[in-house]
Amino acid sequence: MRLYAISVYLFLYIPIGVIAVFSFNSGRHASQFMGFSTKWYGKALSNPFVMDALETSLIAAFLTACLAASLGTMAAIALQGVSGWLRTLFDALIYIAVMIPGIVIGIATLIALVTVFGWVNPMLAALWPEGATPPQLNMGMGTLVAAHTMFTMALVIIIVRARIAGMDRSLLEASQDLFATPWGTFRQVTLPLIAPAILAGFLLSFTFSFDDFIIAFFVAGSETTLPIYIFSSIRRGVTPEINAIGTMVMAASLMLLVIAQMLLRRGVSKSG
């Protein structure tokens, strides 16, 4: 089993290591290592198209993480009061949202948005004053954030619900015995206990949104995220600059995932 586990990790991380090594290539070809150099990192960071795509990805990921963390937390708390077949139905819908392939979510979201825009835009045109240009709902940052929030919110619900299930119920009962209001119990007891899970869900939502390509490809419209830019550049050939961008993205994503895992373990140890 140990040999099997080592083989799996090597299979997963050797390609990532190769990309990281060749990002320091001084040559122009990604597959021929001509010497050690960090010039491609400087070139990537000075590329205005890369910076614009990075800014778009950061804004979309931050907005997605904020919405997913807040809405997912509220949904997780509300689901604690649901039982029976309705609870089973909600559980199935949450896990289905995580299990469905990204391309299915992207296509379904695209069709839904186009249909809604087809209904709403004529209504806006009819209600708008004559002679004035009515607003047009189109694909862009709003649709990108909405699609990512729909996907990542399910992750937050799962994480926060697991944290709530591991809470010491006697603390809530003691708060009620001391005549605390429901809001006071939530603010002083529940929220501090589930805060690590909320923050972990925030970081995971940020990471998934920042790294996503498939869903963003369908709903981003004229917006170009960093994964979309990388995909467009790869079609013209892989260069050390792409390796450098990929290495920086992977390093940032792994760092956020490690922080999220540390926060989850810290929350579990505190509750224990």
- Residue pLDDT, tens place only, 243-269: 888 888 888 878 877 887 777 676 555
pTM for the whole thing? 0.81
Q: How confident is the model at residue 125 (pLDDT cuts 50, 70, 90)?
A: confident
pLDDT in tens, 13-71: 888 788 888 788 777 766 667 777 788 888 888 888 888 988 999 999 999 999 999 99
Q: Rounded mean pLDDT of 153-162?
A: 90
State whether residue 131 is helix, strand or coil: coil
Neighbours of 93 (CB within 10 A): 10
- Please, which residues have CB within 8 angstroms of residue 120's CB and are 6 or more apart in sequence? 137
**Residues in the chain, total:** 272
- Please, which residues have CB within 8 angstroms of residue 46's CB and are 6 or more apart in sequence? none
- Per-residue pLDDT at 44: 82
Q: How confident is the model at residue 272 (pLDDT cuts 50, 70, 90)?
A: low
**How far apart are the C-alpha atoms of 165 and 234, rounded to whole Å?**
45
**How far apart are the C-alpha atoms of 198 and 75, rounded to whole Å?**
12
**How far apart are the C-alpha atoms of 61 and 203, rounded to whole Å?**
10
**How far apart are the C-alpha atoms of 141 and 252, rounded to whole Å?**
22
Instruction: Map out the domains of the chain as residue ranges.
Output: 49-271
Of 75-89, 151-165, 168-182, 210-224, the range with the lowest mean pLDDT is: 168-182
DSSP secondary structure letter of residue 237:
-
Give the residue among 217, 226, 271, 248 at the shortest CA–CA distance from 58.
226
CA angle 233, 236, 238 (to 5 degrees): 70
H/E element holding 30?
none
Decide: 140 and 220 in contact? Cβ < 8 Å: yes
Residue 92, pLDDT > 70, answer yes
Q: Rounded mean pLDDT of 87-97?
A: 84
Average pLDDT over the chain, rounded to an integer: 82
Q: Rounded mean pLDDT of 85-98?
A: 84
pLDDT in tens, 185-239: 777 777 888 888 888 889 889 988 988 889 999 998 888 898 888 888 877 777 7
Q: Which residue has the higher pLDDT, 51 or 166?
A: 51
- Per-residue pLDDT at 18: 81
Q: Which residue has the higher pLDDT, 109 or 134?
A: 109
- Per-residue pLDDT at 67: 95
**How far apart are the C-alpha atoms of 230 and 222, rounded to whole Å?**
15
Q: How confident is the model at residue 111 (pLDDT cuts 50, 70, 90)?
A: very high
Neighbours of 185 (CB within 10 A): 18
Amino acid letter, 88:
T
- Per-residue pLDDT at 65: 93
CATH architecture under which domain 49-271 falls? Orthogonal Bundle (1.10)
Helices (H), the chain: 2-22, 39-45, 48-79, 85-99, 102-127, 141-165, 169-177, 182-185, 191-211, 214-219, 226-234, 240-271
Cα separation values, 28 from 119, 163, 211, Å? 50, 49, 26
- Per-residue pLDDT at 269: 57
Residue 2, pLDDT > 90, answer no
**How far apart are the C-alpha atoms of 80 and 185, rounded to whole Å?**
15
